[in-house]
Amino acid sequence: MADARRRRWFDAAAVHAGHGPASSDAGRHGRGAGAVGGDRAHRLLVLGDDDTPGGGGSYRAARAAVDVALTAADLLLAGDAAVYGLARPPGHHCPRSAFGGYGLFNYSAAASAYLADRVGRVAVLDVDYHHGNGTQQIFYHRADVLYVSLHADPDRAFPYFIGWADENGAGPGEGFTLNLPLPAGCTNDHYLATLETAVKRIAEHNAAALVVSLGLDTYGQDPIADFALSTDVYHEVGRRVAGLGLPTLVLQEGGYFVPKLGANARTWLRGLLGSPLDLHATPS
Ligand SMILES: [Zn+2]
């Protein structure tokens, strides 16, 4: 497919660039945050959630994930047309000053901020099954970083308090968040039709780079999700994203049906790179 590279180390400032300064209004950009009440919402968001255990190696792993994202961003800046960053844990549920949703640092946001500092306008396309509440919150007031997400309706799915269609940014960022919530049982056709709306909005943004939060928990057999996508549709999704013609950084987020994770990621990337659909392809 392409060459594999090792990450290099970045200092902590790069992590903070993604997360931004501590903010007393962290996460108050979802209808539900207000709905559960100020104090309770604040406590919930600062402490994260009980889905995110920590162990002896957690910090190092999460920091390494940020390094992977920034190394990948540097490769993009050096002229690669498409770069895939594979790391764990995922990060798109981490807002400013908090962790959550299995993640400690929002490495997609760190890479997006890093790219925006260097090239100007950036678009983020979040195709994880779950809404990327962290990424939305971090860029909610910014017009230079567009956030577009296809995800399960928060009425029934994590993160529950944010990700509705009527959240579209605030202040200078008004109009630079686009949420496209999807129903249970979402089919390939419904997904691709919604993706068209996302792609159209991204094309209007005139971005210099695209960051994709690639979650594969949209797969029909994913044990914690309820969409009905099949492996072959990922090729078409990758192909349509490539049609934007933007330097594209793909960062791995969720995906929990392990037997098909590799095939689904590979198929998505083959679509992005213009390789033919081959459900039995092996990495090369
Ligand atoms: Zn997810």
pLDDT digit string, tens, across residues 33-78:
332 333 334 334 444 566 776 777 778 888 888 999 999 999 999 9
Is residue 233 in a domain? Answer: yes
Q: What's the angle, vertex CA 36, arms to CA 35 and CA 37, rounded to 5?
A: 95
Residue 266 lies in a domain: yes
> 152: CA distance to ligand 1 center in Å?
9
**Residues with Cβ–ion distance below 5 A, ligand 1:** 128-130, 215, 217, 254
CA of 165 to the centre of ligand 1 (A): 18
Residue 102's domain comprises: 12-273
Closest CA to 127 of 111, 153, 156, 150: 150
Q: Is 190 a catalytic residue?
A: no
pTM: 0.86
Q: Are 157 and 218 in contact (CB under 8 A)?
A: no
What's the 201 CA to ligand 1 centre distance in angstroms?
Answer: 22
The pLDDT assigned to 48 comes to 54
Task: Compare 65 and 238 and report the one with higher pLDDT.
Answer: 238
Cα first-last separation, the chain: 5
Look at residues 253, 163, 267, 266 and name the one whose alpha carbon lies nearest to residue 216.
253
> Is residue 113 situated within a structural domain?
yes
Average pLDDT of the chain, as a whole number = 86
In a domain, 89, yes or no: yes
Q: Is residue 3 part of a domain?
A: no
Is 112 a member of any domain?
A: yes
Higher pLDDT, 115 or 96: 115
User: Considering the domain boundaries, does residue 256 fall inside one?
Assistant: yes
Q: What is the DSSP letter of 281?
A: -
- Tokens 């209007």 belong to 204
Flag whether 244 is in a domain.
yes
Kindly give the distance from the C-alpha atom of residue 178 to the centroid of ligand 1, in angstroms, as a whole number: 18
Question: Which residue is catalytic, options 19, 29, 93, 130?
Answer: 93
Number of domains in the chain: 1
Q: Measure 231 CA to ligand 1 centroid, in angstroms.
A: 17
What CATH number should be reported for the domain holding residue 179? 3.40.800.20
With cut-offs at 50, 70 and 90, classify the pLDDT of residue 2. low
Residues in the chain: 284
pLDDT at 187 over 70: yes
Q: Quick one: pLDDT at residue 282?
A: 66
The secondary element (H helix, E strand) that includes residue 122 is strand 122-126
Rounded distance between C-alpha atoms, residue 270 and residue 275, angstroms: 5
